[in-house]
Structure 1
Amino acid sequence: MTLDNLQDLSIFAKVVATGSQSAAARELDVSLAVVSKRLALLEKQLGVRLLNRTTRQQSLTEEGQLFYASCVRILAEVSEAETQLLLHRDSVSGVLRINAPNAFGRRHLVPLVTTFQARHPQLRVQLDLTDAVIDLVEGGVDVAIRFGSLPDSSLFARELAPNYRVLCASPDYIARRGLPQSPAELVQHDCILFGEQLVTEWQFHDESIKVHGNIVTNHGEAAHELALCGAGIVLKSIWDVGADLDSGQLIRVLPEHAIASAPLHAVYLHSRHLAPRVRQFVAFVSEQLQQAWRWDPAPKLRVAASGQNRRARVSGI
């Protein structure tokens, strides 16, 4: 026999505590008929009489005394569990599992994680930096920071801050090879590609240029370093290369030609009932990144005559 209705236990305990069914009904704000019916059903389910009742008084049976003691303990434990859950629901604690791209995570996210965790010392953070797009469920990830649009409709995303991608190369490379004057001239240049393919397409305005990689890497920071070393032209987020453009270590290539956007998103599995650690971390990162934004807006991307515009998929870089 199992009891699956805590309300019955609460009614029984209230009847004993108040001394009568009518008093219990008043305190519980239910009808006397409801109290009487629930007590009868409880005794039927248990197979024993809990209360000896007359028109003027009631008293606990021996079985009722034993059961009442258990009810008080059970209801107290349930109340304590609810209290702890409410406290946990409103506190930033537990383990926050974050996934982010290598370069962006190291440069921009690590300082924010440090500050956020210092503000919430009960929080533990597991930060996974990888350029691969991992499955949030399989990886046990609470929130992932990603560039690009959201291809998986089962996920939810919040745009964190402005972002656009740029082509850039080192002054040494530009001195040796010159600056391309149009996207079409990229086919004559050395290009550093991210991924596994030696050939890819870079989307400009209403045209797509097929470029060949003289070097291909699966690591976003490696692609960045290769560009700094003069290996060729690379396509990167402004967040990754903005400081190098400001210092002159990299030079913007074809700045007047907009490239398909790659918004910066926080991605998570559920949009409702987010744990406070996730909700507050995403809000904190968004606020800090928007304050840190210092670059000019990206040129507008013109839509092709066909009305179709390729959307950049979520990626690690």
Structure 2
Amino acid sequence: MNLQAIRYFLMVSTTGSFQATARHFQVPASSVSRFVAALEKELGQQLLYRNTRAVRLTEAGEQFFLQVRDAVELLDQAAEGLVHRDADINGLVRINAPETLGRLHIAGIVNALQARYPELVVELTLTDAYIDPVQEGADITIRVSPLLDSGLIGKVIGAQRHVVAASPAYIAAHGRPATPGDLLTHRCLVYKGQLGAQKWYYRMQDADPFQTLNVSGPLRSNNAEALLAAAVAGRGIVVFPTWVYRADMFKTGELVALLDQWEFAASPDPTYIQMLSPENRLRSRKVREVSAFIVEAIGAPPYWDGIGEGTVRGR
């Protein structure tokens, strides 16, 4: 019985897609189909129902899947532990992250990761769309979202903390807001994504419900860095997570933190930076070590929360 055919079958069963399986193994979809068909012929059983919309297991396929899945994973773990026990990790690892967070932080961490493990190949995909890690073959997915029961194995890297900021030039021209309500009369630079213009939320105490601010101003954009550049140029006030700001912006005086006695957010629900993986991926030493490297590089609390003493509430 061909072990590679079994691997293809397991991945097709998990993803429901020959195309996703082909992407994962970096082979043509026709090869996956041919191997699985040969496996079915050898077993004398149809394992998969195929149609134009999806692929699903037959009753025989479900039984075979459950019997061989753990056996193959145990085999892989044994081989990995024996071959790479005293060696650095190598091979391919796929990481998915949000665009701005990935560009500003994860890309640099990947550079350090590959300096530590020269034989490691990283496929870094940056997208703000929520992907299905199983369908897309991602080993590690970094998300900014509320905590969800996604069926994935995850670690919370940190809660998002937001800072209200403006340039000294803006404050000199328009004054400094004394309360969150004052923002309604200021020029606010607003993120506008697929769900529309972002509202701002604030509260005094952690136990308080968030209050909503429908702010407005001269610029809306779906790009956080464009809005941040406008704030530095004196065009208005921004509210962003600490990871969006450059580490030196508040120390050099490019921006001034405002209203730091209140907690601000861009959502009424707490959001977290999370690192998620399918359960079977975490059985791989490579994925575990890469995950641990990323977590250690970010730190606890995340290093970007230290953008300046007093700029983050509670610090």
Normalising by structure 2, report the TM-score.
0.60
Maintained 8 Å contact 1:187/1:212? yes
Residue number in structure 2 paired with 1:236: 240
CA distance in structure 2 between the aligned counterparts of 1:274 and 1:223, rounded to whole angstroms: 41
CA shift, 1:202, in A, is 1.9
After superposing the two structures, state which structure 1 stretch, 191-200 or 247-256, moved more.
191-200
Secondary structure at the aligned position of 2:181 is classed as: helix
- Provide the rounded CA distance (Å) in 1 between the counterparts of 2:126 and 2:233: 23
* Residue 118 to residue 164, structure 1, CA distance change in 2 (3 Å): same
Report Cα offsets for 1:26-81 as digits up to 9, x if no partner. xxxxxxxxxxxxxxxxxxxxxxxxxxxxxxxxxxxxxxxxxxxxxxxxxxxxxx98
Residues 227 and 286 of structure 1, relative CA distance in 2, 3 Å threshold: same
CA distance in 1, matches of 2:134, 2:78: 29
Is 1:204 the counterpart of 2:207 in the alignment? no
- Higher Rg of the two aligned structures: 1
Deviation at 1:168, TM superposition (A): 0.9
User: How far apart, in 2, do the equivalents of 1:159 and 1:105 lie?
Assistant: 16
Contact 2:166 2:231 in 1 (8 A): yes
Partners of 2:292 and 2:169 lie apart in 1 by 41
Matched letter for residue 200 of structure 1: K
Partners in 2 of 1:88 and 1:265 — Cα distance?
31
Structure 2 CA distance for partners of 1:159 and 1:122, relative to 1, 3 Å: same
Q: Aligned match of 1:193 in 187, 190, 194?
A: 190
Match of 1:151 among 129, 137, 148: 148
| Counterpart check, 1:178 vs 2:175 | yes
Contact 1:167 1:234 in 2 (8 A): yes
Counterpart-to-counterpart distance in 2, 1:270 and 1:281: 15
How many residues end up aligned between the 2 structures? 223
For the structure 1 residues 230 and 149, does the alpha-carbon distance in structure 2 shift closer, same or farther, using more than 3 Å as the test?
Answer: same
Measured in 1, the distance between the counterparts of 2:118 and 2:261 equals 47
Separation in structure 2 between the aligned mates of residue 239 and residue 121 of structure 1, nearest angstrom: 28
Alpha carbon RMSD of aligned pairs, Å?
Answer: 3.2
Aligned to 1:267: 276
Q: Distance in 2 between matches of 1:272 and 1:199?
A: 35
**Is the CA contact 1:156–1:271 (under 8 Å) kept in the aligned structure 2?**
no
Query: Residues 81 and 204 from structure 1, CA distance in 2 versus in 1: closer, same or farther, beyond 3 angstroms?
Result: closer
Query: Is contact 1:97-1:140 (8 Å) kept?
Result: yes
Give the secondary-structure state (helix, strand or coil) at the position aligned to 2:299: helix
Report what 1:307 is aligned to. Answer: none
**Aligned residue for 1:281?**
290
Matches within 5 A, 1:38-57: none
- 1:299 counterpart residue number: 313
- The whole-number CA distance in structure 2 between the counterparts of 1:157 and 1:277 is 16
SS class of match (1:243): coil
Rounded Cα–Cα distance in structure 2 between residues aligned with 1:222 and 1:152:
33
| Distance in 1, Cα, partners of 2:309 & 2:280 | 31
TM-score of the aligned structures, taking structure 1 as reference length: 0.60
Counterparts of 1:279 and 1:178, CA distance in 2: 50
- How far apart, CA to CA, are the structure 1 residues paired with 2:98 and 2:230? 17
Q: Percent identity among equivalent residues?
A: 30
**Per-residue deviation, residues 204-239 of structure 1 (Å, max 9, x unmatched):** 233412223432222222222222222322121212
Q: Secondary structure at the match of 1:118?
A: helix
Q: Is the CA contact (8 Å cut-off) linking 1:96 and 1:125 kept in structure 2?
A: yes
Note closer, same or farther for the CA distance 1:166–1:88 as it changes in structure 2 (3 Å cut). farther
Does the aligned pair in 1 maintain the 2:96–2:126 contact within 8 Å? yes
How far has the Cα of 1:105 moved from its partner?
2.4
Asked if 2 retains the 8 angstrom alpha-carbon contact of 1:97 and 1:125, the reply is yes
C-alpha deviations, 1:89-130, integer Å up to 9, x for none?
Answer: 756222222222333323322222112112222211111233
- Helix, strand or coil for the counterpart of 1:277? helix
Equivalences for 1:1-317 in 2 at 5 Å?
84-87=79-82, 92-161=89-158, 163-194=160-191, 195-196=193-194, 197-198=196-197, 200-205=199-204, 206-214=209-217, 215-241=219-245, 242-260=247-265, 262-270=271-279, 273-290=282-299, 292=303, 294=306, 295-296=308-309, 298-299=312-313
- 1:102–1:220 Cα contact (<8 Å) kept: no
Q: Displacement of 1:147 after TM fit?
A: 3.1
Q: Secondary structure at the match of 2:104?
A: helix
CA, structure 1 residues 231+210, in 2 after alignment: closer, same or farther (shift >3 Å)?
A: same
Question: In structure 2, what is the Cα distance between the partners aligned to 1:93 and 1:117?
Answer: 10
Which whole-Å CA distance do the structure 1 matches of 2:77 and 2:148 have between them?
A: 38
Shift of 1:199: 5.4
Question: Residue 190 of structure 1 aligns to which amino acid in structure 2?
Answer: R
